[in-house]
Amino acid sequence: MATIGSDIKHDAAFKKNEEYFNALLQRIHGTARTVKLGGGADAVAKQHQRNKLTARERIEKLIDPKTDFLEIGLFTAHGMYKEYGGAPSAGVVCGVGKIQGRDVVIAANDATVKAGAWFPISCKKNLRAQEISIDNRLPIVYLVDSAGVFLPLQSEIFPDKEHFGRIFRNNAVMSAMGITQIAAIMGPCVAGGAYLPIMSDEAMIVDKTGSVFLAGSHLVKAAIGEEIDNESLGGATVHCEISGVTDHKMKNDDECLNKIRSIIGKLGHNAVSPFDRTLSAAPKFNPQELYGIMASEGNKPYDTYQLLARILDDSELDEYKADYGKTIITGYARVDGWAVGIVANQRSIVKTAKGEMQVGGVIYSDSADKAARFIMNCNQKKIPLVFFQDVTGFMVGSRAEQGGIIKDGAKMVNAVANSVVPKFTFITGNSYGAGNYAMCGKAYDPRLIFAWASAHIAVMGGKQASETLLSIKVQAMEKGGEKISPEKQKALLDEIQARYVEELDPLFAASRLWVDDVIDPVRTRSIISHGISMASNNPSVPHFNTGVLQV
Assign residue 483 a region: left if phi > 0, alpha if psi is -120 to 50, beta otherwise? beta
> Do the beta carbons of residue 207 and residue 249 sit within 8 Å?
yes
Does residue 548 belong to any structural domain of this protein? no
Number of domains the chain contains: 3
Residue where a domain terminates, one of 243, 264, 285 = 264
pLDDT band, residue 123 (cuts 50/70/90): very high
Mark whether 277 and 377 lie in a shared domain. yes
Residue where a domain terminates, one of 222, 247, 264 = 264
Mark whether 383 and 498 lie in a shared domain. no
Q: What is the pLDDT of residues 198-245, one digit of tens each?
A: 999 999 999 999 999 887 778 888 889 988 888 888 899 999 999 999
pTM of the entire structure?
0.95
Does residue 550 belong to any structural domain of this protein? no
Residue 462 in this model has a pLDDT that exceeds 70: no
Mark whether 138 and 24 lie in a shared domain. no
Mark whether 251 and 306 lie in a shared domain. no
Mark whether 366 and 387 lie in a shared domain. yes
Does residue 72 belong to any structural domain of this protein? yes
Does residue 393 belong to any structural domain of this protein? yes
Mark whether 17 and 150 lie in a shared domain. no
Does residue 190 belong to any structural domain of this protein? yes
Mark whether 167 and 45 lie in a shared domain. yes
Mark whether 122 and 28 lie in a shared domain. no
Domain that holds residue 182: 40-264
Residue 1 in this model has a pLDDT that exceeds 80: no
Mark whether 113 and 132 lie in a shared domain. yes
Mark whether 466 and 527 lie in a shared domain. no
Distances in Å between the alpha carbon of 500 and those of 20, 28, 398? Answer: 20, 19, 29
Residue where a domain terminates, one of 226, 247, 264 = 264
Mark whether 369 and 393 lie in a shared domain. yes
**Which residues, at least 6 apart from 538, have a Cβ–Cβ distance to it below 8 Å?**
135, 136, 137, 270, 273
pLDDT band, residue 38 (cuts 50/70/90): very high
> Do the beta carbons of residue 431 and residue 391 sit within 8 Å?
yes
Distance CA 114, CA 417 (A): 39
Mark whether 416 and 446 lie in a shared domain. yes
Rounded average pLDDT over 487-498: 78
